[in-house]
Each structure stands twice: as C-alpha cells, then as structure tokens.
Amino acid sequence: MLKLSSEDLRKRREHLKNQYGFTIEEQRYVARRKPNFLLYDKDENKGIASLSDLLTGKYGFSQELVRTLVLKYPQVLGKSKSSIEHFFD
C-alpha cells in the first residue's frame, strides 16, 4: 500500500501538475488504475519520467500527447523503455 504523508502527497501532485500537466482529477483517474502513479517518476527505466523523456525526446511527441496517452492507457506507465522502443521501432 502506498503510504505518503499529506505534505508529500501534495508535493507529488503539484509536481505532476507542473511537470507533466496532469490536473488533480486526471491524477486521481490514473491513480485508480495504477496506484503507484504518484511515484512512477522515481524509476529511471519506467514510469512517467522515462516515458515522457523517450516519447518527447526520441520520437518528437508533445507533452500533451504523452499526457493523453497515459490517461487513455495508464498501463503504459508499467512498461520499460526497451519495450516502448520495441513497439515504436
């Protein structure tokens, strides 16, 4: 189970809003499907940070498109960089 203090949760939500553009409602939606969504940018090989870096850097996607992809398919957050590259290459 995810255990964060209310202050840590507020900081994580603010970070996701500022860095990736997720509203509070969108964060709740994704977190219901991927409960560790708030921590997914901690792992360098998977999660929102690596997904965003890979898709915006290597493939030229906009941050808005990455956000839409995560909202539509939250399970993509659990994929490693290599599996995502394999899909797009």
Alpha-carbon distance 24 to 13, whole Å? 7
pLDDT tens by residue, 55-84: 999 999 999 999 999 999 999 988 888 898
What tens digit of pLDDT does each residue of 6-57 get? 898 899 889 899 999 999 999 999 989 888 887 766 666 778 888 899 999 9
Decide: helix, strand or coil at residue 33: helix
pLDDT at position 3, please? 72
Enumerate the domain spans of the chain. 7-88
Using CA atoms, how far apart are residues 29 and 51, in angstroms rounded to an integer?
Answer: 18
